Amino acid sequence: MEKILEINALPEGQSVRKFLFKPEELELKLFGAEFNEPVLFELTCIRTGFEITCMGWVTTKVRLQCVRCLEMFEYELKEAVNFMARLSLGAPEQVDLWDEDMVHVDRHKGVLNIAPRIHDAVLLGIPNYPLCSEDCKGLCPVCGANLNVTTCEHIDSLGQNDKSPDPRWEKLAALLKKTNKSS
């Protein structure tokens, strides 16, 4: 499958392109995340002469650590990627400036390296506070037991046995779990 968007090969009007990257091809790295699955980029291009409107979705599965129970879980990532490309004379050969929504591509070469944009989209698509599920019960703040899979004697006395634990306990629970692990 393609890794580079060949703009010169795009027909006038609407067309669809698909790209598949291995995580190592995108050099994906983020603390607390594991990238093992291929990253799919499905792109709809609408070409009008030298201008191309590109609208697509980046999808993949990422292993993330839940902020409540600290377990790793699989997250279905989906992030929009939209930009305009313009074929220009004398545009720089290598386009790494993806900050802008308009990308200038040399008209003679007509190719666009989309990997940096896909890399950024994957990292943007990762939530700041990953949760394995909306109603993750988290850890017992006293003994660190994972309350999704077990119960312990502290829960009733703390009144923490409802489905939405007080978020203020989460950091303490995480600390306790660390302490338990290292001792």
Query: In this chain, which of 20, 46, 126, 143 binds Zn ion, going by CB under 5 A?
Result: 143
User: Would you give the binding string for Zn ion spanning residues 153-172, x where CB under 5 A is met?
Assistant: -x------------------
3-state SS, one letter per residue, for 91-148:
CCCCCCCCCCCEEEEECCCCEEECHHHHHHHHHHCCCCCCCCCCCCCCECCCCCCECC
**Are the C-beta atoms of residues 102 and 144 closer than 8 Å to each other?**
no
67 lies in the site for Zn ion, by CB under 5 A: no
CA distance 157 to 151: 12
Q: How far is the CB of 69 from Zn ion (least distance, A)?
A: 3
139 lies in the site for Zn ion, by CB under 5 A: no
61 lies in the site for Zn ion, by CB under 5 A: no
Q: Which is nearer to Zn ion, 118 or 136 (CB)?
A: 136
7 lies in the site for Zn ion, by CB under 5 A: no
Stretch that binds Zn ion, among 43-51, 62-70, 77-85, 110-118 (CB under 5 A): 62-70
Stretch that binds Zn ion, among 30-38, 69-77, 122-130, 161-169 (CB under 5 A): 69-77
CA distance 140 to 150: 10
CA distance 32 to 56: 27
Could you tell me how many residues of this chain bind Zn ion (CB under 5 A)? 11
132 lies in the site for Zn ion, by CB under 5 A: yes
- Contacts of 110 by beta carbon, 8 Å cutoff, 6+ apart: 6, 7, 8, 9, 87
Other CB atoms within 10 A of residue 75 CB: 18
CA distance 93 to 104: 9
Q: Which is nearer to Zn ion, 58 or 145 (CB)?
A: 145
Q: Which is nearer to Zn ion, 40 or 152 (CB)?
A: 152
Chain positions contacting Zn ion, by CB under 5 A: 66, 68-69, 132, 136, 140, 142-143, 145, 152, 154
